[in-house]
Amino acid sequence: MSSRPANFHGLHIRKWYEFQEETLAIETGPLADGEPVVKLVVAAAIANPNAGRFVASFDEVIAASEHLGIEFARRLITRLAGRAVQSYGKAALVGANGEYEHGNAFLTTAFAEPIREAVGGGKAWVPSTGKRGGPGTEIDIPLAHKDALYVRSHYDTFSVTFTDSPGPDEVVIAMAVATRGRLHARLGGISVDEIIGEDGLR
C-alpha cells in the first residue's frame, strides 16, 4: 500500500500517541458534580498509502483499518484501567499531499466497530471530523453519548495537536473517549437515566 516498509497489517505506522486529561472542577470554580470527567485520546501517525493520487476504491485501507480499530481498542481499554466509557468520537488529520477522503477511509465502521465492542457496545454512531493540515495543526475531536445522541450533557470536544505530525504523506487517525458528560451540564434535554437505547438517538 505505501512505499514505506509495512509494520502493521500492510500499513506503516510511524508513531503512536496517547493523551489523557482529568477535569476536577469547571471554569468558574465549582467542583465536579460526581466523579471527575476523564478524557482519553489514542492516535497514530500513518503513512498515507494514497498520498498524491486519486483512487476510486479504498478497500485496502478499510480492510487494514479493522486491525487498527482492534489495536486502538486495546490501547484505550488499557489506559482506562477499568473506567467505563459513556461517550466517544473520532477524527482524521491529513497531510498536505493527501485528500480529506484519504483520512475518512480510515474511519469507517470497520475501524469503529472493534472499539465500540470494547467499550461495551454503542447504539449511536461515532461522531467524526477531519481536515488537512501540517505538523502542529489542532483538531477538535467531537464527543457524544455512545448510546443516545440526544443526550446534550455529553456534547463535548477533546482538542489535540501533534507536534511532528502529519507529514505531507501521512494521516493521523485519532479516537477519543470520555467517562461521563460535561461537569455541571445544565442545558436540559434527555438525561443519562432516561436513555431508551433503541435507535441511537434517545
Mean pLDDT by groups of 10 residues along the chain of 202 residues: 86 98 98 98 98 96 97 97 97 98 97 96 94 97 95 96 97 98 94 84 86
At residue 2, the pLDDT reads 63
Predicted local distance difference test score (pLDDT) of residue 195: 86
pTM: 0.94
**What's 3-62 look like in SS3?**
CCCCCECCECEEEEEEEEEEECECCCCCECCCCCEEEEEEEEEEECCCCCCCCCCCHHHH
* Distance separating alpha carbons of residues 3 and 22, to the nearest angstrom: 40
- Assign domain 13-194 to its CATH architecture: 2-Layer Sandwich (3.30)
Q: Which sequence spans correspond to the domains of the chain? A: 13-194
Supply the pLDDT for residue 199: 83
Within 8 A by CB and 6+ apart from 26, the residues are 183, 184
Residue identified by cell 483512487 is: 55
Distance CA 193, CA 196 (A): 9
Run of H or E residues at 139: strand 138-145
pLDDT given for residue 197 in this prediction: 79
